[in-house]
Amino acid sequence: PLPWLSRQGLSRPGLTFGSLAPLYKITPDVIAAWSQILQAAPASRLVLKSAVLAKEDVREFALQAFAKHGVTAERLVLSGPAE
């Protein structure tokens, strides 16, 4: 496996969806849509990468938003800018 995938927890089997959109574009409707997609594909996960996700409080807000739709933190990889 590629080192980046392992560090992000993405080397396990299953489909990985991703978005590099600025977080302001991840609206409640988008979160609801991604949640439906993740629920329809049980082994899948979602990677969101945005500069503001470098902040812990922003990541926690995003996790809570997805949790309202039944998506657990284990299914999400929230990442700030590349190091």
Q: What tens digit of pLDDT does each residue of 44-66 get?
A: 999 999 999 999 999 999 999 99
pLDDT band at 14 (very low <50, low <70, confident <90, very high): confident
DSSP, collapsed to helix, strand or coil, labels residue 47 as strand
Kindly report the pTM of this predicted structure: 0.83
pLDDT of residue 7: 57
Q: What tens digit of pLDDT does each residue of 21-50 get?
A: 999 999 999 999 999 999 999 889 999 999
pLDDT of residue 1: 47
Rounded CA separation 43/41 (Å): 6
Nearest to 53 by CA among 76, 72, 30: 76
